[in-house]
Amino acid sequence: MSRSAEPARPAGERYRALIHEPGVKSIVVLDQRALPHAVVHQSIEHVDAAADAIRSMVVRGAPLIGAVGAYGLALALERDASDAGLSTAHAMLDATRPTAVNLRWALDRVRARVAALPTDARAGAAWQEADTIYTEDVALNAALGKHGLALLRDLVAQREGRAINVMTHCNAGALATCGFGTATAPLFLAHAERIPLHVWVSETRPRMQGASLTAWELRQHGIPHTLVVDSASALLMRRGDVDAVIVGADRVAANGDVCNKIGTYGKALAARDNAVPFWVALPSPTIDWTLDTGDEIPIEARAADEVLRITGRVDDGTAGRVSIATDGTPALNYAFDVTPARLVSRYITERGIAVDVRSLHALHRNGSRGR
Ligand code: MRU
């Protein structure tokens, strides 16, 4: 793995979370742990490095970890394309993060593509399949963004042209996908067509994806936004300062329950109590038709240290970590929660808008996933 660092780029310049140049047997990822203070790229040349990048959240976000997992499997097959090599690498990558179903979906897809091939053809086919997953994700983002944009246009019309305030949580942007995001895709499109828009960004304790990633992305695009602490969300809704909430998803069960970053459920409850529309942006690989309800979704529990210590830039400009509790304080760190389907006002998918779980099923012809 090699690393290169450069200052964070000025507003308006493009950035990509994952790059695979045709014919090259490695990938380059943006190290999201360094944002927003520096843009650092890592070249990943071995399956172990791909697994490590997902585990340590160099890359994160459901669609992106799926794509990096797919390339990881291609890297593994370059060195060992036997059945045993395939199944060991699949298991290792799958074990990196348990909640987002996109990872398993992408790994299964690459495995299904190569399993029947002779070993000398497997790596090439795996690279191709990973590239296809990448390009499909770009297209999913674009289609989903277009449908979400229609919702935003309606909202502006209802507000008679005044600026709309949309709240988001965590990061479901370009940094979480291969394209320009899921929950953020409609926001980027709305801004591009000059819809007056302001985004409330909740900081997303403990890893601060809202503060360090979403706020950074919105700034790159010049979209007006304000960072708030997670616990301010309900107050803002009660004051009438939020016109809609839009979030991404890590896994959606067949009954429409939505698993997303911890804190999403609380926002959905506050939204319902204050009659604020609560929208979930989800590409079809995020739906897990095998699970009846969200209660069956494995919730990742991460290290207590993430709660007890915060990483940031200290006054001399260097990155640092500070403790925020007495040494030895017990801490619990669930990374995701489940929002019941009844609290979701709209599912924004690449196939259109679903008003409830029945229409979500209808859009997917009762259980088909992307492809
Ligand atoms: O722990 P993370 O940063 O991987 O969590 C990401 C989220 O919860 C996103 O909202 C979700 O993956 C959707 S990304 C399009």
Q: What residue's CA is closest to ligand 1, atom 10?
A: 248
Backbone φ and ψ of 256, nearest 5°: 90, 0
* pLDDT at 371 > cutoff 50: no
CA distance 103 to 42: 20
The answer, yes or no, to whether residue 72 has pLDDT greater than 60, is yes
Which of 68, 209, 213, 265, when mutated, tests ligand 1's pocket best, judged by the most ligand atoms within 8 Å of its CB? 209
Q: What is the mean pLDDT of residues 15-19?
A: 96
- pLDDT single digits (tens) 241-286: 999 999 999 999 999 999 999 999 999 999 999 999 999 999 999 9
- pLDDT above 50 for 63: yes
Mutation pick for ligand 1 pocket among 97, 214, 250 (CB with most ligand atoms within 8 Å): 250
Strand partners, 7: 38
pLDDT at 365: 85
Is the bond preceding 118 in cis, omega lying within 30 degrees of 0? no
Which atom of ligand 1 is nearest the CA belonging to 62? Answer: 12
59 CA → ligand 1 middle, Å = 10
**pLDDT at position 12 over 90:** no
% of the chain exceeding 90 in pLDDT: 91
pLDDT, tens digit, 9 for 90 and up, residues 90-138 = 999 999 999 999 999 999 999 999 999 999 999 999 999 999 999 999 9
Distance 168 CA to ligand 1 centre (A): 12
pLDDT of residue 11: 39
> Which atom of ligand 1 is found nearest the CA of 335?
1
- The helix/strand/coil state of 251 is strand
* Assigned token pair, 152: 């935003």
Q: Tell me the mean pLDDT in the region 298-311.
A: 97
Cβ–ligand 1 distance for 102 under 6 Å, the answer no
Confidence of residue 5 (pLDDT cuts 50, 70, 90): very low
* Catalytic-labelled residue, pool 31, 230, 250, 337: 250
Residue nearest to atom 5 of ligand 1 (CA): 61
pTM comes to 0.95
Query: DSSP 3-state helix, strand, coil percentages of the chain (rounded to 5)?
Result: 40, 20, 35
327 is catalytic: no
- pLDDT tens, position by position, 132-157: 999 999 999 999 999 999 999 999 99
pLDDT at residue 14 greater than cutoff 80 = no
Angle at 73 between CA 71 and CA 78, to 5 degrees: 95
Determine which residue's CA is closest to atom 6 belonging to ligand 1.
61
| C-alpha angle 85-91-95 in degrees, rounded to nearest 5 | 145
Report whether pLDDT(198) > 90.
yes
Mean pLDDT, the chain, integer = 94
Instruction: Tell me: cis bond preceding 98? Omega within 30 of 0 counts.
Output: no
